Amino acid sequence: MKRIHSYFSGFAGILLAGISALHVLPTQAQDAAPTLTVLDASTTTSDPLLWRSRLIVVFADSPLDPRFTDQITKLEAGAEALLDRDVVVITDTDPAGMTELRQDLRPRGFMMVLIGKDGVIRLRKPFAWGVREISRSIDKIPLRQQEVRDRRTSE
């Protein structure tokens, strides 16, 4: 698996102020649906996310790309499962912007990438994936399995 070294270094942008907003929980009624955190690649630094969150990076050449809108819809529909797995979504729909993520991951058109908490690329897909498949991929990661074991012993 390829590790993104430069992805988690440098890159001026939002710093620790954004950490508190990484996992947005509903502030309304108890039965409100969980809200998935979606950040824009052009204004996001990944340094505070390393070892805190798994990243799903969704690339497209336009926010109007049907694959992009389909992927975001699927992710929002499965927000609860993704929040349970410490997932933060980062979008990049401006190829001219050449963000650090775009330079490191070199997408061609639409691409969905899953990056583990350790910065290792776990999955690349050229089409929209459902939360069920993404969750299964995350659950196979040794760090996630350890998190589940730790959660069980603490209960």
CATH number of the domain within which 60 lies: 3.40.30.10
Q: Would you say residue 2 lies in a domain?
A: no
Number of independent structural domains in the chain: 1
pLDDT at residue 44 in the model = 85
Q: Which residues form the domain of 144? A: 32-154
CA distances from 27 to 20, 32, 74, 108 (A): 14, 8, 23, 38
Q: Would you say residue 17 lies in a domain?
A: no
Cα separation, 76 vs 65, in Å, equals 17
Q: Would you say residue 16 lies in a domain?
A: no
Q: Would you say residue 9 lies in a domain?
A: no
Q: Would you say residue 42 lies in a domain?
A: yes
Q: Would you say residue 114 lies in a domain?
A: yes
Beta bridge partners of 54: 87
pLDDT at residue 34 in the model = 79
pLDDT of 38-64, one tens digit each?
999 999 866 788 999 999 999 999 999
Q: If you average pLDDT over residues 71-90, what whole number do you get?
A: 97
Q: Would you say residue 23 lies in a domain?
A: no
pLDDT at residue 62 in the model = 96
Q: Would you say residue 22 lies in a domain?
A: no
Beta bridge partners of 56: 89, 114
